């Protein structure tokens, strides 16, 4: 029984890089991958939250390390791509969860807002995926996992440039699936609905809106970072080798109303 489940889902011997792994959905996914056996590198800017996450994982018996850097610029992305290979070598699994949503009113969106959002949310996944997937393909195993948004599919509370960036992420995911097809490298996206994380702390102050969003799901509550654990382990593991180019909605049914 254990061998059977291990063949499908175990990540023992694998190495993972999780951007945004120090908070919210990324932290939930990093925890899941590490607990499933992957040596996991947490990538973000803030050193305190990285250290806290790594300490928690190590206390649970996991192999984990942290790398601090900024995915908000091209040199920053390139530097982090190299630095993230230092702790455990080239990754087998890349999870792109780092993201920003600055939400200016549409008419006020500046070119700087556009560049900042597109750089972290879409360019970093492209450059990191390109950097790592060549090696993954030569080793015959790789998993690119993106965190998209329902805003890739429809407008929602002022989608603005954020929604555009997530549309780019899902198209990038399909392009990667095509580009790396037949090499053992897959690319897929998890599509959250509304998840209670620091990203939307300001929105959470409006308890009426939070309750209304929960009511719009079929399950009857908003998402939690732990809701992404099992799907991430599945997409990272051997059992998903015939799944690529797909968007998997983890949204309590929000998107099908
Ligand atoms: N929460 C939701 O309802 C929701 C819904 C749909 C999609 N998503 C997506 O899910 C992903 C995770 O969101 P979340 O809600 O978990 O957000 P979160 O709790 O705010 O976490 C964001 C993570 O990204 C890191 N990060 C942000 N900017 C960065 C930069 N320039 N360089 C490096 N790391 C950076 C943050 O660490 P530092 O700030 O320390 O750098 C943090 O670890 C995002 O892509 C988001 O768009 C979230």
pLDDT tens sequence for the chain (257 residues)? 789 999 999 999 999 999 999 999 999 999 999 999 999 999 999 999 999 999 999 999 999 999 999 999 999 999 999 999 999 999 999 999 999 999 899 999 999 999 999 999 999 999 999 999 999 999 999 999 999 999 999 998 788 999 999 999 999 999 999 999 999 999 999 999 999 999 888 889 999 999 999 999 999 999 999 999 999 999 999 999 999 999 999 999 999 98
- Is the CB of residue 19 less than 8 Å from the CB of residue 30? no
- Is the CB of residue 96 less than 8 Å from the CB of residue 128? yes
Strand pairing partners for 176?
none
Q: List the Cα angle 100/133/27 in 5-degree steps.
A: 40
- Residue 137 CB: number of other CB atoms within 10 A? 16
Place of tokens 């300001």: 202
Establish whether 242 is a catalytic residue: no
CA of 148, closest atom in ligand 1: 7
- Which sign, positive or negative, has the C-alpha torsion 230, 216, 169, 67? negative
CA of 195, closest atom in ligand 1: 3
Distant-in-sequence, close-in-space partners of 75: CB < 8 Å, separation ≥ 6: none
- Is the CB of residue 246 less than 8 Å from the CB of residue 189? yes
The tokens describing 59, both together, are 């206390």
- Is the CB of residue 190 less than 8 Å from the CB of residue 250? yes
CA dihedral 164, 150, 209, 203 (to 10 degrees): -50
CA of 15 to the centre of ligand 1 (A): 21
User: Ligand 1 atom 1: the closest Cα is on which residue?
Assistant: 195
Q: CATH code for 2-245?
A: 3.40.50.720
Kindly tell me the burial class for residue 215, based on how many C-beta atoms sit within 10 Å of its own C-beta (0-12, 13-18, 19 or more): exposed
CA of 240 to the centre of ligand 1 (A): 25
- Residue 34 CB: number of other CB atoms within 10 A? 27
**Using CA atoms, how far apart are residues 92 and 185, in angstroms rounded to an integer?**
9
Contact residues of ligand 1, CB 6 A cut-off: 19-20, 22-26, 44-46, 49, 70-72, 97-101, 120, 147, 149, 192, 194-195, 197-200
């Amino acid at each position: 029984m254990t061998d059977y489940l291990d063949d499908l889902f175990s990540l023992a011997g694998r190495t993972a890089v999780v951007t945004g792994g120090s908070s919210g959905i990324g932290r939930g996914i990093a925890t899941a991958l590490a607990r499933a056996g992957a040596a996991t590198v947490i990538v973000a800017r803030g050193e305190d939250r990285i250290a806290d996450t790594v300490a928690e994982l190590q206390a649970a018996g996991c192999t984990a390390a942290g790398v601090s850097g900024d995915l908000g610029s091209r040199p920053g992305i390139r530097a982090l791509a190299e630095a993230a290979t230092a702790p455990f070598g080239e990754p087998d699994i890349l999870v792109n969860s780092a993201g920003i949503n600055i939400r200016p009113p549409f008419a006020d969106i500046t070119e700087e807002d556009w560049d900042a959002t597109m750089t972290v949310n879409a360019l970093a996944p492209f450059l990191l995926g390109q950097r790592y997937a060549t090696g993954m393909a030569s080793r015959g195993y790789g998993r690119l996992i993106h965190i998209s948004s329902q805003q890739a599919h429809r407008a929602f509370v002022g989608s603005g440039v954020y929604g555009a960036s997530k549309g780019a992420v899902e198209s990038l995911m399909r392009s990667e699936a095509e580009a790396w097809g037949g090499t053992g490298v897959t690319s897929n996206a998890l599509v959250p609905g509304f998840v209670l994380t620091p990203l939307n702390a300001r929105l959470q102050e409006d308890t009426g809106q939070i309750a209304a969003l929960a009511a719009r799901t079929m399950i009857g509550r908003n998402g939690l970072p732990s809701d992404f654990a099992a799907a991430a382990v599945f997409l990272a593991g051997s059992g998903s080798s015939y799944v690529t180019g797909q968007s998997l909605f983890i949204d309590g049914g929000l998107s099908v109303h």
